[in-house]
Amino acid sequence: MLIILPPSETKALGGSGAPLDLARLALPGLAPIREHIVDATVALAADPDACAAALKLGPRQLDDVGRNAALWSSPSMPALERYTGVLFDALDAGSMTLSERGRAEERLMIGSALLGAVGATDPIPYYKLSAASRIPGEPTLRALWRPVLGEEIAALGRGLVVDLRSGGYAALGPVPGAISVTVMSERPDGSRAVVSHFNKHYKGLLARALAVAPREPEDARGVARLAGEHGMRAEVPGPHDVTLVV
Protein backbone atom coordinates (compact mmCIF):
# COMPACT_ATOMS: atom_id res chain seq x y z
CA MET A 1 0.00 0.00 0.00
CA LEU A 2 1.06 3.55 -0.69
CA ILE A 3 -0.41 6.59 1.08
CA ILE A 4 0.27 9.90 -0.63
CA LEU A 5 0.08 12.91 1.67
CA PRO A 6 -0.17 16.54 0.66
CA PRO A 7 2.82 18.68 1.64
CA SER A 8 2.41 21.63 3.97
CA GLU A 9 3.15 25.29 3.47
CA THR A 10 4.79 25.29 6.90
CA LYS A 11 8.08 23.42 7.23
CA ALA A 12 10.69 22.91 9.91
CA LEU A 13 13.80 25.01 9.42
CA GLY A 14 17.37 23.76 9.47
CA GLY A 15 18.46 20.14 9.45
CA SER A 16 21.60 18.13 10.03
CA GLY A 17 21.71 16.07 6.85
CA ALA A 18 23.85 16.52 3.75
CA PRO A 19 22.61 18.94 1.06
CA LEU A 20 20.08 17.87 -1.53
CA ASP A 21 21.22 14.85 -3.57
CA LEU A 22 18.65 13.79 -6.14
CA ALA A 23 20.17 10.32 -6.32
CA ARG A 24 19.07 9.68 -2.74
CA LEU A 25 15.39 10.36 -3.37
CA ALA A 26 12.60 7.93 -4.15
CA LEU A 27 11.29 7.88 -7.74
CA PRO A 28 14.70 8.36 -9.39
CA GLY A 29 13.07 8.66 -12.81
CA LEU A 30 12.00 12.16 -11.80
CA ALA A 31 15.59 13.38 -11.44
CA PRO A 32 15.77 15.40 -14.69
CA ILE A 33 12.61 17.37 -13.94
CA ARG A 34 13.61 17.78 -10.29
CA GLU A 35 16.94 19.24 -11.32
CA HIS A 36 15.26 21.59 -13.79
CA ILE A 37 12.75 22.90 -11.24
CA VAL A 38 15.31 23.25 -8.45
CA ASP A 39 17.65 25.16 -10.79
CA ALA A 40 14.80 27.41 -11.93
CA THR A 41 13.76 28.07 -8.32
CA VAL A 42 17.33 28.95 -7.34
CA ALA A 43 17.69 31.23 -10.36
CA LEU A 44 14.44 33.02 -9.49
CA ALA A 45 15.75 33.65 -5.96
CA ALA A 46 18.68 35.59 -7.44
CA ASP A 47 16.19 38.44 -7.98
CA PRO A 48 14.56 38.90 -4.55
CA ASP A 49 11.82 41.23 -5.76
CA ALA A 50 10.85 38.98 -8.66
CA CYS A 51 10.94 35.94 -6.38
CA ALA A 52 8.75 37.56 -3.74
CA ALA A 53 6.26 38.61 -6.40
CA ALA A 54 6.17 35.25 -8.19
CA LEU A 55 5.75 33.23 -4.99
CA LYS A 56 3.43 35.80 -3.40
CA LEU A 57 5.60 36.19 -0.32
CA GLY A 58 4.51 38.60 2.37
CA PRO A 59 6.88 40.88 4.32
CA ARG A 60 7.38 38.20 6.98
CA GLN A 61 8.26 35.54 4.41
CA LEU A 62 11.12 37.32 2.64
CA ASP A 63 13.70 35.09 4.34
CA ASP A 64 12.34 32.30 2.15
CA VAL A 65 13.97 33.97 -0.86
CA GLY A 66 17.42 33.32 0.60
CA ARG A 67 16.42 29.80 1.59
CA ASN A 68 15.35 29.04 -1.98
CA ALA A 69 18.64 30.45 -3.23
CA ALA A 70 20.43 27.84 -1.08
CA LEU A 71 18.47 24.75 -2.17
CA TRP A 72 21.60 22.95 -3.40
CA SER A 73 23.69 23.77 -0.33
CA SER A 74 21.38 23.98 2.69
CA PRO A 75 21.10 21.08 5.17
CA SER A 76 18.45 18.43 4.74
CA MET A 77 16.20 16.42 7.03
CA PRO A 78 13.82 13.50 6.41
CA ALA A 79 10.67 14.62 4.62
CA LEU A 80 8.44 13.28 7.39
CA GLU A 81 10.19 15.66 9.80
CA ARG A 82 10.47 18.59 7.37
CA TYR A 83 6.74 19.04 6.82
CA THR A 84 4.71 20.41 9.73
CA GLY A 85 1.17 21.65 10.28
CA VAL A 86 -2.30 20.28 10.95
CA LEU A 87 -2.13 17.05 8.96
CA PHE A 88 1.31 16.12 10.26
CA ASP A 89 0.26 16.95 13.83
CA ALA A 90 -2.63 14.49 13.46
CA LEU A 91 -0.34 11.89 11.88
CA ASP A 92 1.90 12.31 14.96
CA ALA A 93 4.79 10.22 13.66
CA GLY A 94 6.82 11.05 16.76
CA SER A 95 4.51 8.97 18.97
CA MET A 96 4.69 5.82 16.83
CA THR A 97 6.37 2.70 18.12
CA LEU A 98 9.42 1.44 16.24
CA SER A 99 7.37 -1.13 14.34
CA GLU A 100 4.67 1.42 13.54
CA ARG A 101 7.25 3.94 12.38
CA GLY A 102 8.81 1.31 10.13
CA ARG A 103 5.48 0.54 8.48
CA ALA A 104 4.73 4.26 8.13
CA GLU A 105 8.06 5.04 6.51
CA GLU A 106 7.51 2.21 4.03
CA ARG A 107 3.99 3.26 3.11
CA LEU A 108 4.03 7.07 3.18
CA MET A 109 4.90 9.37 0.30
CA ILE A 110 4.49 13.15 0.32
CA GLY A 111 3.59 15.30 -2.68
CA SER A 112 5.91 18.20 -3.50
CA ALA A 113 5.76 21.04 -5.99
CA LEU A 114 9.56 21.17 -6.01
CA LEU A 115 10.35 17.44 -6.17
CA GLY A 116 7.13 15.83 -7.42
CA ALA A 117 6.78 13.36 -4.57
CA VAL A 118 9.21 12.13 -1.92
CA GLY A 119 9.47 9.18 0.40
CA ALA A 120 9.03 9.64 4.14
CA THR A 121 12.75 9.26 4.83
CA ASP A 122 14.01 11.18 1.78
CA PRO A 123 16.44 13.94 2.88
CA ILE A 124 15.11 17.25 1.58
CA PRO A 125 15.93 20.93 2.19
CA TYR A 126 13.59 23.65 3.35
CA TYR A 127 11.92 25.27 0.33
CA LYS A 128 9.13 27.60 -0.61
CA LEU A 129 7.15 26.52 -3.67
CA SER A 130 3.53 25.42 -3.98
CA ALA A 131 1.48 23.66 -6.62
CA ALA A 132 -0.01 27.00 -7.66
CA SER A 133 3.38 28.75 -7.95
CA ARG A 134 4.48 29.98 -11.36
CA ILE A 135 8.15 30.53 -12.12
CA PRO A 136 8.45 33.30 -14.75
CA GLY A 137 9.58 31.97 -18.11
CA GLU A 138 8.79 28.36 -17.16
CA PRO A 139 5.82 26.12 -17.97
CA THR A 140 3.36 25.60 -15.15
CA LEU A 141 4.35 23.01 -12.56
CA ARG A 142 1.37 20.97 -13.66
CA ALA A 143 2.67 20.94 -17.24
CA LEU A 144 6.09 19.79 -16.03
CA TRP A 145 4.96 17.09 -13.60
CA ARG A 146 1.75 15.68 -15.07
CA PRO A 147 3.31 13.72 -17.98
CA VAL A 148 5.56 11.68 -15.68
CA LEU A 149 4.70 11.92 -11.97
CA GLY A 150 1.62 9.69 -11.81
CA GLU A 151 3.23 7.05 -13.99
CA GLU A 152 6.37 6.98 -11.83
CA ILE A 153 4.31 6.52 -8.68
CA ALA A 154 2.19 3.78 -10.27
CA ALA A 155 5.33 2.01 -11.51
CA LEU A 156 6.37 1.40 -7.91
CA GLY A 157 3.87 -1.44 -7.95
CA ARG A 158 2.91 -0.98 -4.31
CA GLY A 159 -0.67 -2.21 -4.66
CA LEU A 160 -3.43 -0.05 -3.22
CA VAL A 161 -2.78 3.71 -3.48
CA VAL A 162 -4.66 6.06 -1.15
CA ASP A 163 -4.24 9.61 -2.42
CA LEU A 164 -4.83 12.20 0.30
CA ARG A 165 -3.40 15.10 -1.69
CA SER A 166 -5.45 18.25 -2.19
CA GLY A 167 -6.83 18.93 -5.66
CA GLY A 168 -3.94 21.13 -6.78
CA TYR A 169 -1.29 18.59 -5.81
CA ALA A 170 -3.24 15.58 -7.08
CA ALA A 171 -3.49 17.36 -10.43
CA LEU A 172 0.31 17.44 -10.69
CA GLY A 173 0.35 13.66 -11.09
CA PRO A 174 -2.90 11.68 -10.89
CA VAL A 175 -2.35 8.00 -10.10
CA PRO A 176 -4.65 5.66 -12.07
CA GLY A 177 -6.92 3.65 -9.80
CA ALA A 178 -5.97 5.52 -6.64
CA ILE A 179 -8.53 5.94 -3.89
CA SER A 180 -9.40 9.55 -3.17
CA VAL A 181 -10.74 10.73 0.18
CA THR A 182 -13.25 13.52 0.79
CA VAL A 183 -14.10 14.93 4.22
CA MET A 184 -17.72 16.07 4.62
CA SER A 185 -19.55 17.64 7.55
CA GLU A 186 -23.14 16.63 8.19
CA ARG A 187 -25.60 19.27 9.36
CA PRO A 188 -28.53 18.57 11.71
CA ASP A 189 -30.91 18.54 8.72
CA GLY A 190 -28.85 15.82 7.03
CA SER A 191 -27.33 18.05 4.37
CA ARG A 192 -23.58 17.93 3.84
CA ALA A 193 -20.76 20.28 2.96
CA VAL A 194 -17.10 19.75 2.18
CA VAL A 195 -14.96 20.38 5.25
CA SER A 196 -12.27 23.00 4.72
CA HIS A 197 -10.77 23.99 8.08
CA PHE A 198 -10.49 20.49 9.59
CA ASN A 199 -9.97 18.63 6.31
CA LYS A 200 -6.25 18.14 6.94
CA HIS A 201 -6.82 17.04 10.53
CA TYR A 202 -9.12 14.18 9.57
CA LYS A 203 -6.93 13.15 6.67
CA GLY A 204 -4.00 13.07 9.10
CA LEU A 205 -5.94 10.76 11.42
CA LEU A 206 -6.81 8.47 8.52
CA ALA A 207 -3.21 8.53 7.28
CA ARG A 208 -2.00 7.42 10.70
CA ALA A 209 -4.54 4.59 10.88
CA LEU A 210 -3.47 3.36 7.45
CA ALA A 211 0.25 3.87 8.04
CA VAL A 212 0.48 1.83 11.24
CA ALA A 213 -2.08 -0.89 10.47
CA PRO A 214 -0.60 -4.40 10.84
CA ARG A 215 -2.68 -5.53 7.85
CA GLU A 216 -3.12 -3.43 4.74
CA PRO A 217 -6.61 -2.87 3.28
CA GLU A 218 -7.13 -4.16 -0.22
CA ASP A 219 -9.77 -1.74 -1.52
CA ALA A 220 -11.90 1.29 -0.67
CA ARG A 221 -14.17 -0.76 1.58
CA GLY A 222 -11.14 -1.95 3.48
CA VAL A 223 -10.00 1.67 3.93
CA ALA A 224 -13.45 2.62 5.22
CA ARG A 225 -13.52 -0.38 7.54
CA LEU A 226 -10.14 0.56 9.01
CA ALA A 227 -11.29 4.16 9.47
CA GLY A 228 -14.33 2.85 11.38
CA GLU A 229 -12.08 0.82 13.66
CA HIS A 230 -10.38 4.09 14.59
CA GLY A 231 -13.59 5.90 15.43
CA MET A 232 -14.17 7.58 12.09
CA ARG A 233 -17.41 7.38 10.13
CA ALA A 234 -16.59 6.43 6.56
CA GLU A 235 -18.68 5.69 3.48
CA VAL A 236 -17.79 4.26 0.08
CA PRO A 237 -19.69 6.10 -2.67
CA GLY A 238 -17.65 4.44 -5.42
CA PRO A 239 -14.91 1.85 -5.98
CA HIS A 240 -12.21 4.53 -5.83
CA ASP A 241 -13.77 6.93 -3.33
CA VAL A 242 -14.02 7.13 0.44
CA THR A 243 -15.95 9.84 2.28
CA LEU A 244 -15.23 10.68 5.91
CA VAL A 245 -18.34 12.13 7.55
CA VAL A 246 -17.72 14.38 10.55
Q: Over the stretch 144-198, which tens digit does the pLDDT of each residue have?
A: 999 999 999 999 999 999 999 999 999 999 999 999 999 999 888 889 898 877 9
Residues 6+ apart with CB under 8 A from 32: none
Give mean pLDDT, residues 121-126.
98
Identify the sign of the CA torsion 181, 174, 20, 104.
positive
pLDDT, residue 43, reads: 98
Q: How far does Cα 42 stand from its chain's mean position?
A: 21
Going by C-alpha positions, the residue among 235, 236, 242 that lies closest to residue 203 is 242
pLDDT, residue 195, reads: 86
State the Cα–Cα distance between residues 146 and 117, nearest whole angstrom: 12
Check whether 237 has a pLDDT greater than 90. Answer: yes
Give mean pLDDT, residues 124-152.
97
pLDDT, residue 190, reads: 86
Q: How far does Cα 14 stand from its chain's mean position?
A: 20
Give mean pLDDT, residues 101-125.
98
State the Cα–Cα distance between residues 131 and 80, nearest whole angstrom: 19
Q: How many domains does the chain have?
A: 1
Read off the pLDDT of residues 206-224 as tens digits, 9 standing for 90 and up.
Answer: 999 999 999 999 999 999 9
Where do the H-state alpha helices sit in the chain? 31-45, 48-54, 63-69, 79-82, 86-91, 98-107, 141-145, 149-154, 167-170, 199-212, 220-229
Check whether 24 has a pLDDT greater than 80. Answer: yes
Read off the pLDDT of residues 36-91 as tens digits, 9 standing for 90 and up.
Answer: 999 999 999 999 999 999 999 999 999 999 999 999 999 999 999 999 999 999 99
Structural domain for 112, as ranges: 2-245
